Amino acid sequence: MSLAKAYAAASATSPLAPFQIERRAVGPHDVQIEIAYCGICHSDLHQVRNEWGNSMYPMVPGHEIVGHVTAVGAHVKGFKPGDLAGVGCMVDSCRTCPSCQRQLEQFCEKGCAWSYNSTEMDRKTPTFGGYSSSVVVDEAFTLKVSPKLDLAAAAPLLCAGITTYSPLRQWKTKKGDKVGVVGLGGLGHMAVKLAAAMGAEVTMLSTSKSKEADARKLGAHHFALTSDDATFKQLAGHFDLIIDTISAPHDYNKYLGLLRVEGAMVLLGVPPEPTPVAAIALIGGRKILTGSLIGGIQETQEMLDFCAEHGIVSDIELIPVQQVNEAYGRMLKNDVRYRFVLDMKTL
Ligand code: NAP
Ligand code: ZN
Ligand code: ZN
């Protein structure tokens, strides 16, 4: 067992503050990582503030973790001290259920062990996330990060990267496909980069006119303002695939009108309240409304390798951990350009 410095929320209404946690002793299959950087995902904010109604306190958020390996257990084969390593949203699963056998650990039938606001598979030991100085994780849930990538900017790949890569792959995005990305934040900007790298013709659908130039720099071929009703007339029936990353309640029906016949809209954002969907929005054109949750461990490694090959990382604002509460405030004002990353040496 070792002690680690951390930042934690004591309740849904308290700001994040310094805290100390215990990390388990390095077991035979474990990798111990000194955390260098941790991204701030909007899911951290939803959970810190108990917006999904399932929060456990004290909570140490953070599931976009990168750092250096400091120790490994006797049976670890893929990592040695000094290696770069990453940890995403999951730290364990049952490994035997049909979902786990299909490399879809995020849908483990026993419920996977999330990196924080969760328990280990013993269902007793709380898990604490990456806003901390170190972590101990089973090798099977530890990712390899290429030294070719800027380490701080690679951190958000562990959630924002895989969450957008997975549906693009599931819907077989290829050259020339018309992909709409809704919401230009952490997830949205990764969706633009990844879809463009797969050869898609990408349109950014945003409420923020001020982000147009950035959207084009990120790789979007077109930009459309969703606060303008004309957008929904001009682009009606246009898209093969829409990736919706909006974190707040909004009208899905309007966006379904932008899909071609049999086109698909994938919900990634998790607004706290449900939104009604009219049957007619799906029936006319046999449209598909679906969702996606991060990606399995094997696919996360595939995404990291894809990003290393294409030189893709996140556009980040690196901040000291003491500014985390301010960063949450800015995230709520859609003022993220385009992912905050905590520099853990400031802890
Ligand atoms: P973020 O950086 O805060 O970006 C969200 C973007 O959504 C904003 O930048 C804004 O883009 C748009 N937006 C926000 N409020 C809006 C509103 N009221 N109406 C219209 N557009 C609005 O958040 P993120 O980290 O990308 O996360 C986005 C969502 O995905 C969150 O709900 C998060 O919990 C969820 N998430 C899901 C998964 C998964 O596996 N499914 C994984 C990670 C995160 P514009 O300024 O361009 O309009
Ligand atoms: Zn996340
Ligand atoms: Zn399982």
Q: Closest-lying ligand to the alpha carbon of 46? A: 1
Nearest CA to ligand 1 atom 35: 269
Whole-number pLDDT of residue 192: 98
Q: How far is 321 from 311, CA to CA, in rounded Å?
A: 27
Whole-number pLDDT of residue 12: 98
Cα(102) to centroid(ligand 1), Å: 28
Whole-number pLDDT of residue 280: 97
Bridge partners (DSSP) of residue 67 are 35, 85
Q: Note whether 181 and 201 are within 8 A (CB).
A: no
Cα(89) to centroid(ligand 2), Å: 7
Bridge partners (DSSP) of residue 37 are 66, 343
Looking at the CA of residue 43, tell me the nearest atom of ligand 1.
34
Q: Which domains can be identified in the chain, with CATH numbers?
A: 2-159+314-346 (3.90.180.10), 161-291 (3.40.50.720)
Query: Ligand 1: which of 202, 246, 331, 336 to mutate, judged by most atoms within 8 Å of the beta carbon?
Result: 246
Q: How far is 66 from 58, CA to CA, in rounded Å?
A: 22
Q: Closest-lying ligand to the alpha carbon of 107? A: 3
Please state, in angstroms and as integers, the Cα–Cα distance from residue 294 to each residue in 78, 174, 183, following that order. 23, 20, 17
pTM: 0.98
Whole-number pLDDT of residue 37: 99
Nearest CA to ligand 1 atom 11: 183
Nearest CA to ligand 1 atom 25: 42
Whole-number pLDDT of residue 16: 98
CA 328 to chain centre: 16
Residues 37-56 as b/e (b if ≥16 CB within 10 A, e otherwise) read: bbbbbbbbbbbbbbbeeebe
Looking at the CA of residue 250, tell me the nearest atom of ligand 1.
19
Cα(142) to centroid(ligand 3), Å: 17
Ligand 1 lining (C-beta closer than 6 Å): 41-43, 46, 159, 163, 183-188, 206-208, 211, 245-248, 250, 268-270, 292-294, 331, 334, 336
Dihedral-angle region of residue 199 (phi above 0 means left; psi in -120 to 50 means alpha; beta otherwise): left
| Per-residue pLDDT tens digits of the chain, which is 347 residues long | 999 999 999 999 999 999 999 999 999 999 999 999 999 999 999 999 999 999 999 999 999 999 999 999 999 999 999 999 999 999 999 999 999 999 999 999 999 999 999 999 999 999 999 999 999 999 999 999 999 999 999 999 999 999 999 999 999 999 999 999 999 999 999 999 999 999 999 999 999 999 999 999 999 999 999 999 999 999 999 999 999 999 999 999 999 999 999 999 999 999 999 999 999 999 999 999 999 999 999 999 999 999 999 999 999 999 999 999 999 999 999 999 999 999 999 99
Whole-number pLDDT of residue 19: 98
Task: Work out the widest C-alpha separation in the chain, in whole angstroms.
Answer: 62
CB-neighbour burial class of residue 211 (10 A; exposed 0-12, middle 13-18, buried 19+): buried
Cα(314) to centroid(ligand 2), Å: 13
Nearest CA to ligand 1 atom 23: 42
Cα(104) to centroid(ligand 3), Å: 8
Looking at the CA of residue 339, tell me the nearest atom of ligand 1.
2
Q: Closest-lying ligand to the alpha carbon of 330? A: 1
Q: Which amino acid is at 2?
A: S
Q: Note whether 44 and 60 are within 8 A (CB).
A: no
- Coil, strand or helix at 129: coil
Q: How far is 256 from 314, CA to CA, in rounded Å?
A: 28
DSSP category for residue 209: G
Q: How far is 248 from 270, CA to CA, in rounded Å?
A: 7
> Helices (H) and strands (E) in the chain — how many of each?
11, 19
Cα(32) to centroid(ligand 3), Å: 24
Looking at the CA of residue 42, tell me the nearest atom of ligand 1.
25
- Coil, strand or helix at 78: coil
Cα(86) to centroid(ligand 1), Å: 23
Nearest CA to ligand 1 atom 2: 185
User: What is the separation, in whole angstroms, between the first and last Cα of the chain?
Assistant: 20
